[in-house]
Structure 1
C-alpha cells in the first residue's frame, strides 16, 4: 500500500511539472524571426499586443525587452517566466512589448558593452545597432507604434539591465524610458562609470530595481553609485529617476516578475 501511495505521489508530481511547463502565453503573444546582420544570426522576436489592438486604430508605445524567452511562457523560460502578458492583460495596458530572445551561448557577448578581463564579452554595440537600425524599423513598419523616444522604452535584468542602461547612454534619442532590473554593473563597472561621467545631460526616465540579497555584495552599492551619478545630470524636481531596493530580494525571475508592474506603471 505504501509503495503504491509513493508511486501515486510521484506520478502527481510529474504531471504537475508537465502542466507547469505547458505553453502559458496568452493569445496576445506571437513571435517571428528576423535576420540580424549586425550579429551574423537570426533572432526570434516575441510580440505582445494590447487586447484591443485589432479593434483599434490607435498607435501604441513600445518597450524592447531582452531575454524574450523568459517573459511570457514557462515552457520556454530558463527558470520561470515573468508573466508579462498576464500582468499587462490585467491592467488593460496600452503598450506593445518586443521581446528579443537570448537562448544561446552568445547572450553574454550581446548584452555586455565592454570586454571583461575574465569573462570576455563586449558585443553590445552590434546588438544595440541591430535593435535600433534593423528591429525597430521593422516593428514600426509592421505595427501601429508611437516611434519617438518618449514612447520607446527598454528593459532587462542582470546583463539585460546592464545593456539597457548602456542603451540609454548610447541612444538617448531612441530610448526615452528604461527599466533597469538588478543590473550587472560589476561586469563593466569602470567603463560604465566613466561613460556616465561623460554624458552632459540625461533626460531618460529611469526606474532602478534590485534586491538586497542578490548574492552580489556590490549590487546595491553599484546601483547607488550609478543612480547618484545620474542624479547629478539633472534636477531632481523633474522626478525622472526612481530607485527601489527590495528587502530580501534575490537575483531571480521572482524579483523581476513581482517588480515589473510597478516599474511599468511608473514609467508609462
Structure 2
C-alpha cells in the first residue's frame, strides 16, 4: 500500500474540475501556506502544470518535485509563503494541451484553449474561494518541459493577468513558432521571467534558452526582468526541477514580494 507523501497543507481541490474551453475534467490540487488557517492574510498565487508530480510521489510516475516541503521549510525560516495551484496534466491530452501550435503526427494545437481555461475559469474560481492577492503583481504561472512551454505562452498571452513566469527546461523545440510569436508580441507590462535549464539535459536546451533571452531583450524586456540560468549539470526530470524550485521561488516571490 502506498501512502501519500504530500504535506498536510496540500489539499485535493477537485477530482473533476470542469474545463469548459476543452470540454474535459481535470484534477486540481492546492497548497496553502502553513499559517493560512490562522490568519486573514491574502497570498500571492502560482499556477503550476503537471500537478500530479508536484507534491505527492504516489501520484507521480517519475518522482515528485516536493514543492510543499520546500515552501514549508522556507516558511519555517520566516518566509510568508504563497498559494500553489497544481493542475494535473491530461495524460493522453498533455501534448495537445501544452502546445500552442499543432505538429503533424505529434499533436498539439490546444494550447490557447488551455491558457483560456487557466485565465478565465480556474483563476476566477481560486480568487473567489481563497484569500488570494488577485492583482497581476502577485500572480504567477510555471511548469517544466512541455509544461514550461505552455506556461511561458500563457504568461505572455495574458500579461494583464500574470506577471511572474517560473519556467524550467522549456520544450521550445516542440513549437519553434514561439520565437517568432514572442518577437511579434508587443510588450505591454513589466514582467519577471525566471527560466532555468541545464547544459546536460538536451543538445538544444542551452541554445534555446539563450535565444529566448535575446528574443525577449530585442522585444523590449529589460535585463532586470529576466533571470535566465543555465546549469552545468542536471537531467530533464523532477529531481532537477524540484531542486531548482527554491531558486525560482526566491527570485520571483521572496525578492519582489
| TM band (smaller chain) | over 0.9
What is the aligned counterpart of 1:185 among 172, 180, 197?
172
Of 64-73 and 36-45, more deviation after overlay is shown by 36-45
Partner of 2:252: 267
Q: CA deviation at 1:246?
A: 1.3
Q: CA deviation at 1:43?
A: 1.2
Partner of 1:7: none
Secondary structure class of the residue paired with 1:75: helix
For the 8 Å contact 1:168–1:204, the answer to whether it is kept is no
Give distance in 2, aligned partners of 1:176 and 1:106.
27
In structure 2, the CA distance between the partners of 1:159 and 1:133, relative to structure 1 (3 Å rule), is same
Partner of 2:26: 43
Give distance in 1, aligned partners of 2:57 and 2:161.
31
For the 8 Å contact 2:26–2:90, the answer to whether it is kept is no
Could you state the TM-score of these two structures normalised by the residue count of structure 2? 0.92
Partner of 2:143: 156
Moved segments of 4+, more than 4 Å: none
Secondary structure class of the residue paired with 1:187: coil
Secondary structure class of the residue paired with 1:51: coil
Matches within 5 A, 1:54-65: 54-65=37-48
Give distance in 1, aligned partners of 2:49 and 2:193.
16
Of 194-203 and 33-42, more deviation after overlay is shown by 194-203
Q: Residue 31 in 1 paired to residue 12 in 2?
A: yes
Partner of 2:228: 243
Partner of 2:156: 169
Secondary structure class of the residue paired with 1:94: coil
Q: CA deviation at 1:117?
A: 2.9
Q: Residue 87 in 1 paired to residue 70 in 2?
A: yes
Q: Unaligned stretches of 5+ in structure 2? A: none
Q: CA deviation at 1:32?
A: 2.4
State the structure with more CA Rg: 1
Secondary structure class of the residue paired with 2:208: helix
Q: Residue 194 in 1 paired to residue 180 in 2?
A: yes
Partner of 1:127: 114
Q: CA deviation at 1:103?
A: 4.8
Partner of 2:207: 221
Q: Unaligned stretches of 5+ in structure 1? A: 1-17
Secondary structure class of the residue paired with 1:69: helix
Could you state the TM-score of these two structures normalised by the residue count of structure 1? 0.89
For the 8 Å contact 1:69–1:103, the answer to whether it is kept is no
Give distance in 1, aligned partners of 2:63 and 2:4.
12
Secondary structure class of the residue paired with 1:119: coil
Give distance in 1, aligned partners of 2:105 and 2:234.
27
